[in-house]
Amino acid sequence: MNFEEYQHRIEQFLKNEIELYGDELVLPRDAVQALFDVHESQADWQSIGDLAQFHSAIKDCLKCPLGGNRIKFVFGSGNPAAEIMLIGEAPGADEDRQGLPFVGKAGQLLDKILAAIQLDRNEVYIGNIIKCRPPQNRDPLPQEIEACLPYLHKQIELVDPTIILCLGRIAAQTLLRTTESLGRLRSKVHDYFGRKLIVTYHPAALLRYPQYKRDTWEDVQLLQRIYIESKK
Ligand code: SF4
């Protein structure tokens, strides 16, 4: 959860308290403990200034139930000072086995997409919205995303990319905090806290629906254009 979300939740909580109890503040014991736990666990890693150390600090995370079922934690990989950061949804079976993002068939397609615009995965940084595999590759649940998202925010802060490419609906809707369809979010440049963010289809979706390849090609050409412009 980022600062704005905490602020919103606290405001909602206080409004409810005022409606229910007037001036008296009633806090359930476990809610207070949870607040301390979140604060303490975040305090452990929030001051870390290096991706490798951050990886070590969170690799045993069990903040949501997905942690108990994973084979491997999938932190992210690539150039730790990349100008372009790619963000997908969640590890699949191959990624869970290898502990790396985008290593299955979807990953091979992603490599081809990057090669088409003269990039390879060692130049970019690749991560996911969540770091442990959901069962049967289902969509991550909102509470799983909420638990994991602070880690991605920290990774973005550490890599400090100029451009973010969201791969798929979940990544785009999560970062842009919207329920708009991927079709409406793609083919434009969004602002993400001062970084440029663009949206395209997830490579796994392209394997199922090859008709989206043309749109994806347009999106990565847009990525290439703004990348070239950013270097001028
Ligand atoms: S998905 Fe994220 S929050 Fe959940 S256990 Fe894995 S690393 Fe932790």
Domain ranges of the chain: 1-47, 63-230
For residue 80, what are the CA distances in angstroms to 43, 50, 85, 163?
22, 9, 10, 14
CA of 179 to the centre of ligand 1 (A): 23
Residue 21 in this model has a pLDDT that exceeds 90: no
143 CA → ligand 1 middle, Å: 10
For residues 32 and 209, what is the distance between their CA atoms, to the nearest angstrom?
47
pLDDT over 70, % of the chain = 82
How far apart CA 39 and CA 135 sit, in angstroms, is 29
Beta pairing partners, 150: none
Q: Are 54 and 155 in contact (CB under 8 A)?
A: yes
Q: Which residue has the higher pLDDT, 13 or 169?
A: 169
Which pLDDT does position 210 carry in this prediction? 96
Q: What is the mean pLDDT of the chain?
A: 90
The rounded Å distance from CA 161 to ligand 1 centre is 23
pLDDT confidence of residue 40: 52
The rounded distance, in Å, linking the Cα atoms of 85 and 26 is: 43
Question: Are 203 and 109 in contact, with CB atoms under 8 Å apart?
Answer: yes
Q: What is the pLDDT of residue 44?
A: 82
Residue where the block lists tokens 């607040």? 35
154 lines ligand 1 (CB under 6 A): no
- pLDDT at 20 exceeding the cut of 70: no
What per-residue confidence (pLDDT) applies to 4? 56
Task: State yes or no: pLDDT of 204 exceeds 70.
Answer: yes
The closest alpha carbon to 192, from 177, 181, 170, belongs to 177
Q: If you average pLDDT over residues 185-206, what whole number do you get?
A: 97
Percent of the chain with pLDDT over 90: 79
Identify whether the C-beta of residue 95 lies closer than 8 Å to the C-beta of residue 73: no
Q: Are 213 and 200 within 8 A, CB to CB?
A: no
What pairing do the DSSP bridges indicate for beta strands 125-128 and 195-200? unpaired
Atom from ligand 1 closest to the CA of residue 67: 5
225 alpha carbon to ligand 1 midpoint, in Å?
A: 34
pLDDT over 80 at 33, yes or no = no
Q: Is the CB of 38 under 6 A from ligand 1?
A: no
Question: If DSSP codes are grouped into helix, strand and coil, which group holds residue 24?
Answer: coil
pLDDT for 115 beyond 90: yes
Average pLDDT over every residue of 89-96: 97
What does the pLDDT read at residue 23?
66
Nearest CA to ligand 1 atom 4: 64
Distance 39 CA to ligand 1 centre (A): 16
Q: Is the CB of 126 under 6 A from ligand 1?
A: no
CATH number for the segment(s) 63-230: 3.40.470.10
DSSP string, 174-225: HHHT----HHHHSSSPEEETTEEEEEE--HHHHHH-GGGHHHHHHHHHHHHH
